[in-house]
Amino acid sequence: GIEGSGFVYAPHRIVTNAHVVAGTSRVGVRVNSETLPATVVTYDPRRDIAVLAVPDLDAQPLQFSQAAGTRGDPAVVLGYPEDGPFSIRPARVRSRDTVSGSDIYGKGTVHRNVYSVYAVVRSGNSGGPLLAADGSVLGVVFATALDSSNTGYVLSDSEIAPDVAAGRAAGVPVGTGHCTPG
């Protein structure tokens, strides 16, 4: 199956990338050695964000940062790269910009507010958080640079704010489109 990362941001809610759950009919969240059933309640292929409802999840939510990261700020990337064990990798904010690209299906033009970070980001880190030095969430990891093994891209907290807000209250399962290329 498809695997990626995510994090608890509200009671019984996990945020991840839409491309992690795209085309799925069943979603589970692995916590320690247990897999908990989850339901996709928010799916935004333009922003590349999904919110999962996990009723049996009892975990302390991470808090979003009150301040934007700036060039040179230390940070860490958390996740489960390459279907492996939990990983904490050092990162440093390079820049925060609005960039243009396509949605997760390679269609249309989407403008997203993202951080570029100096960090090793690998397949499976998608959906994991970028944490500031104080442990607060700066954003959600979603890509690595094709031309640099130590550059990653992170959707900023302000970019994902509408989806995470909608996901807090959402309780109805939503479709996840079709699988993404690659």
What residues are annotated to the active site?
19, 48, 126
> How many CA atoms are closer than 13 Å to the CA of 53, on its beta-carbon side?
14
Considering all CA atoms of the chain, what is the largest pairwise distance in Å, rounded to the nearest integer?
A: 41
HEC-encoded secondary structure of 116-168: EEECCCCCCCCCCEEEECCCCEEEEEEEECCCCCCEEEEEEHHHHHHHHHHHH
Report the C-alpha gap between 104 and 179 in whole angstroms: 9
